[in-house]
Amino acid sequence: MFFAATIAVLVSLGLALVRALLGPTLFDRVLAGNTIGTLAVLTLALIGFVTGRPEFLDIAILYTLLNLIGTIAVLRYFKLSEPVVPAAPEE
């Protein structure tokens, strides 16, 4: 059962990595980064469950909060920054 869950997480991680590298827009890349962070949390939870160590769940919760704050910070940065538009040549 855990083998199937591990395979599913790895396949999802590969797809999210492809989306992060080839995403057509910035928001696709941010969403893929958020997905990779969520899959990391899921991996930590699986490891904690398999090994019977609840410390991994505490680390997963902390990483979830960091992932949320990081995603909000990146989106807010790109929302508030003005895009650089090349100036039109004067005639």
Write down the mean pLDDT value for the chain. Answer: 88
Fill in the amino acid letter for 68. Answer: L
pLDDT value for 26: 86
Q: Which residue has the tokens 């899921």?
A: 42
- Long-range pairs for 11-19: beta carbons < 8 A, 24 or more residues apart: 12/39, 13/39
pLDDT value for 16: 94
pTM of the model: 0.78
Q: Is the pLDDT of residue 62 over 90?
A: yes
Q: Which residue has the tokens 């590969």?
A: 14
